[in-house]
Amino acid sequence: MISMVGRRLLWAIPSALLITALLFFSVAGLLGSPAAFMLGQDATRESIAELNARLGFDRPLIVQYLDWMGRALAGNFGRSYSSHQTVAEAILPRLPVTLELGVAAVLLAAIMAVGLNSITTGRTVVRPMATALAVLGVTLPNFALGLSLIFLLSVKLGWLPSVGWAPWSAGIGVHLTHIVLPIVTLSAYYYGTFTLVYRAEYDATSQRLFVRVAKAKGLSEGQVSFRHVLPNSILPVITYVGLSLGQLMGGAVVTEALFSIPGVGSLLVDSIIARDYPVMLAIGMLTIAGVVIMNSAADALYAVANPQIRLK
């Protein structure tokens, strides 16, 4: 178990190098130096050249990248070019927001997917509905769903605010009513994928011998479904939850923009647009770390859910 996590972490290093290099060379190579952006429309040729020289943007890209990497490895991620904050100051306040949104959305999606597809009472009605929802979730783009929800629940019914974030200090109730819409919007897609994965596994498990034995023992449909089929079908969902949470460390760009949520995703987009390399690269690294940590956590959860894995 520990050696597995160790191996994972070791693999994270080349991945981090690759991702940050890709990010840096594509953005810096294709889009050019941040100097023109920092100076705005009033810039002149001289002022751009001067700022490039002063900040070292006139050096070869590989030198600039290695310079950044060297400092990053020493723990110095630098300052944002546009806000002049340290990278930690720029990212850290946004991290809990992204985590809250991501974790809540993925958990909601997982619970709904597993729950709706395991329910045995009224299955003939619930199942087709669960399927329809899953198809909608996977096919409907996030912004279209978000806008429809805003139109229906905020504009027409006036139940929920369309601004998707209020600080905890505004009160727990206020905070929660603000974040409901974005969580639902974001979870729709994950609900769709989780349903597809879970349903296939669930149906396969239902055919297995021990399920028939359980039924033969006289257990109710519900007991069979929740006690025997569910625990034996949930592993792939756990994998997907882990993967999804890892990806979400990079932020949920569209949902964040739609609901004005101060998360990591909007920061990543802004930093790419502004050629704010220190911030952009740090978020790249953070995403890698997120994927690795969440995958390891999913593996650890496997063992909890399924004793067979613990024994091996």
Partner 1 sequence: MWLGHPVRTALAASAAVAWLGLAPAAAEQPQHGGTLTVSLPNDAKSLDPTFQINFSERQPLYLLFNTLVGLASDFSVKPELAKSWEVRDGGRLLVLHLLGGVKFHDGTAFDAKAAKWNLDHRMTDSVNSPSRVQLTELIESVDVQDEATLGIRLRGPAPSLLGMLAQREGFMISPQAAEKFGPSFGQNPVGTGAFIFKEWTPGNRIVVEKNPNYWEPGKPYLDRVVFIQTSNPVVGIPRLLTRELDFIGALSPIEVRTLDKQSGIKLERSPGSRWLALQMRIDRPPFDNLRLRQAIAHAIDRKRMVDIVMDGKATIAEGFTPPGLWWFDPDLRSYAYDPAKAKELLAEIGLMPELQLTLSTQPVVLYQQISQLAQEQLKAVGLKVRVEPVSVSDWYPQLIQGAINFLPIRWTQRPDPDGLFTYLFHSKSKANTSRYSNSQVDELLDRARSFGDESKRRALYRDAQKLMTHDLPYIPLFFTVEYAAMRDNVRNFVWIPDEIPRFREVWKAAP
Cα atoms in the 13 Å half-sphere on the side-chain side of 187: 20
Smallest distance, partner 1 to C-beta of residue 245, A: 21
* Sign of the CA dihedral with 258 first, then 260, 264, and 266 last: positive
> Which one, 47 or 223, has the nearer CB to partner 1?
47
> Which one, 100 or 201, has the nearer CB to partner 1?
100
> Which one, 154 or 247, has the nearer CB to partner 1?
154
Contacts of 110 (CB under 8 A, 6+ apart): 190, 194, 237, 241
The token pair at 168 is 């905890």
CA–CA dist 252, 149 (Å, integer): 17
The residue ranges of DSSP E strands in 200-247, in sequence order, are none
Smallest distance, partner 1 to C-beta of residue 118, A: 37
Smallest distance, partner 1 to C-beta of residue 181, A: 12
Smallest distance, partner 1 to C-beta of residue 290, A: 19
> Which one, 165 or 191, has the nearer CB to partner 1?
165
> Which one, 48 or 109, has the nearer CB to partner 1?
48
Nearest CA to 23 out of 251, 305, 269 is that of 269
For residue 86, list its beta bridge partners.
79
CA–CA dist 186, 106 (Å, integer): 8
Smallest distance, partner 1 to C-beta of residue 55, A: 8
Instruction: Please give the residue ranges that form the binding site for partner 1 (CB under 8 A).
Output: 31-34, 36-48, 51, 54-55, 79-80, 82-85, 89-90, 93-94, 147, 150-151, 154-155, 158, 161-163, 165, 167, 256-258, 260-263, 266-267, 270, 273-275
Smallest distance, partner 1 to C-beta of residue 159, A: 10
For residue 229, list its beta bridge partners.
none
Smallest distance, partner 1 to C-beta of residue 147, A: 7
CA–CA dist 180, 189 (Å, integer): 15
For residues 229 and 202, the answer to whether their CB atoms sit within 8 Å is yes
Bin 251: left if φ > 0, else alpha if -120 < ψ < 50, else beta.
left
> Which one, 38 or 106, has the nearer CB to partner 1?
38
> Which one, 166 or 243, has the nearer CB to partner 1?
166
Per-residue exposure over 249-280, b if at least 16 CB sit within 10 Å of its own CB, e if not: bbbbbbbbbbbebebbbbbbbbbbebbbbbbb
